[in-house]
Amino acid sequence: MDFYVAYRLKRYDDITKNSRNKYAGIDFQQFFDKKEFVAGIRYERSDADGERNSYIRWTYAVSYSAPFASRNSFSAELRFRPQKYEHRLIKVDDLEALRDDHRWVFTVSFVLSIARHFDLMPGYRFETRSSNDPHKGFTAHLPVIALR
């Protein structure tokens, strides 16, 4: 089990986005054979200089990784991140509400050992965000191929 806290200062050209972020989280790790399972939760608060950019976000994550076929490995991760803005009002159907987003991220990747010091790393990431602000939802697909 890992517990962590962090404090981060963010600085941007647009000073209304400058913020102080506070994090606290806990991860539970379980190993069996050479396989690893991790489940975690993180709380984040972003206090921005411009109130419009302040939010509270939670992250819930699970991941699994395992070796296969000698020096190769597989990993998968699923994250859910609800985010509530404290001062960002949106208007939907003549009603005002605070913006509320929900993001899902699924990642799968492989490490394929080609030679002793050469790996091929294909992967895929799917990300989607729903929001009560109809202009902020999206779906993205990101295939990746890396060499190491």
pLDDT of 20 over the 90 cut: yes
Strand order, beta sheet including 19-32: 2-10, 19-32, 35-48, 55-68, 72-92, 95-115, 118-131, 138-147
Structure confidence at residue 74 (pLDDT):
96
pLDDT of 51 over the 90 cut: no
* Alpha helices for the chain (secondary structure H): none
| Token pair for 82 | 């609800």
Within 10 angstroms of residue 53's Cβ, the number of other Cβ atoms is: 20
Across the chain, mean pLDDT equals: 94
Paired with 64 in beta bridges are: 37, 76
Structure confidence at residue 127 (pLDDT):
98
Number of domain units in the chain:
1
Closest alpha carbon to 71 in 5, 136, 3, 119: 119
Closest alpha carbon to 108 in 70, 49, 63, 68: 63
d(CA 125, CA 144) in angstroms, rounded, equals 8
Place of tokens 């994250």: 79
Place of tokens 């799917």: 126
pLDDT of 28 over the 90 cut: yes
Q: What are the pLDDT digits (tens) for 101-144?
A: 999 999 999 999 998 889 999 999 999 999 999 889 999 999 99
Kindly report the CA angle at 13 between 100 and 17, in degrees rounded to 5? 25
Structure confidence at residue 70 (pLDDT):
81
- 130: containing domain: 2-147
Question: Which region among 8-17, 30-39, 74-83 has the lowest average model confidence (pLDDT)?
Answer: 8-17
